[in-house]
Amino acid sequence: MRRTRAVLALAAAGALAAGCAADAPEPRWRASSPASPAAAPSSSAPPADPVTLTLAFAGDVHFTGRTLALLDKPATAFGPIAKTLSDADLTIVNLETAVTGRGTPEPKRFHFRAPKTAFAALRAAGVDAASVANNHALDYGQVGLLDTLAAADAADYPIFGAGRTADDAYAPWLTEVKGVRIAVLGMSQVAELSAQWKPTDTRPGIAMAFDPARASAAVKAARAQADLVIVFMHWGVEGSSCPSGQMQTFAQRMARDGADIVLGTHAHTLLTDGWIDDTYIHFGLGNFLWYGDSHSTDSGVLKLTVRERAVVRNEFLPATVSGTGQPVLVSGTAKKRITDKLKAAKRCTGLAAAPA
């Protein structure tokens, strides 16, 4: 990993949610004092500066069709936009594919899979972790999902939102950046095959937002373990730049339960952002590294500056999915068109323009 240190979850989400708030770790947002650790703190010493993190998020990624050939050279699969991704302290995308060469296609229209080199390409582009809580992780059944999990383990690459059991699927990925403990959860709110794909105590699957009690428990458990809690969703109506009522309701639940940042993908078109009280919400990041035009070629990278759990700056860097399937940052007229589109989309978010 580039700048992060992965940490194993020490207990299942459901069990941790039952813990007391007093058991939560002491926040680490303040930098260590330059004074000797043995020295007593001086009342005249200036307070330590708060830690500032830069986070980057992008949308749906897979390697099929025209993007499969990009894995011939994993080190350059994402193209020039890799610099934008790697500049952040932590970068996360949605991996919209099973990583397998086996399995039987599920009864659905679209099926995506990729070779194991997908993880090398993500790492080379500066992507620190990926959500697999989406409607393609089980395109090739439980065999395909188990292969994906095994391939990620073999590559020592962090993925989250799926697991061999329900406890695994709902557990957060825990990492530490600049001394700040971060918990990231992935969940899906896509109805297709959700009953068949939900995990159980004995069945692999992806974490589902359709179990609201389990989702709430997962976020509360993450809150007890981390200084910053991020929920990466797979949700929305394909082709719609407005969030559904279902999305808005679930975002409110996540904010209430302790998430600091809630964002997601799935609609294959860009949505936009705002706040629920102090929780930052972004409803949709669109396609990123993608095999076709789908509903839109509009794309981009979301960059957030975070300090003491608060998003103090949010910046969306517009891009377009090119003919190779790689996202390319845009400027001038192309940038203005996307920016104007997102300004118009803010009217239907139901979100506040600034934190409470």
The CATH number for 73's domain is 3.60.21.10
Mean pLDDT value of segment 38-56: 74
Number of domains within the chain = 1
Position 30 scores a pLDDT of: 73
Reduced to 3 states (helix: H, G, I; strand: E, B; else coil), residue 112 is coil
Rounded to two decimals, what is the model's pTM?
A: 0.91
> Within a domain: residue 36?
no
> Within a domain: residue 27?
no
**pLDDT band, residue 45 (cuts 50/70/90):** low
**pLDDT band, residue 27 (cuts 50/70/90):** confident
Q: Lowest-pLDDT range, 36-45, 93-102, 235-244?
A: 36-45
* Domain residue limits at 213: 5-17+50-348
Between these two residues, 268 and 49, which has the higher pLDDT value? 268
Q: List, in order, residues 6 or more apart from 174 with CB less than 8 Å away.
A: 6, 7, 8, 9, 181, 182, 183, 184, 225, 226
**pLDDT band, residue 20 (cuts 50/70/90):** very low
> Within a domain: residue 39?
no
pLDDT digits (tens, 9 = 90+) for 144-192: 999 999 999 999 999 999 999 999 999 999 999 999 999 999 999 999 9
**pLDDT band, residue 114 (cuts 50/70/90):** very high
Between these two residues, 33 and 228, which has the higher pLDDT value? 228
Strand segments, DSSP code E, in 189-297 are: 205-206, 228-234, 261-265, 273-276, 279-282, 287-289
Percent of the chain with pLDDT over 90: 85
**pLDDT band, residue 14 (cuts 50/70/90):** very low
**pLDDT band, residue 219 (cuts 50/70/90):** very high
Using N-to-C axis directions, what is the helix angle for 141-155 and 117-124, rounded to 10°? 50
Mean pLDDT value of segment 100-116: 98
| Backbone angles phi and psi of 252, in degrees to 5 | -65, -40
Q: Lowest-pLDDT range, 4-18, 283-297, 327-341?
A: 4-18
> Within a domain: residue 217?
yes
Please determine, for residue 35, whether its predicted confidence score (pLDDT) is greater than 70. Answer: no
Paired tokens of 270: 């860009």
In the chain, the largest separation of any two C-alpha atoms, in whole Å, equals: 68
Position 24 scores a pLDDT of: 57
> Within a domain: residue 45?
no
CB burial readout 61-83, b (16+ within 10 A) else e: bbbbeebbebbeebeebbbebbe
Please determine, for residue 142, whether its predicted confidence score (pLDDT) is greater than 60. Answer: yes
> Within a domain: residue 240?
yes
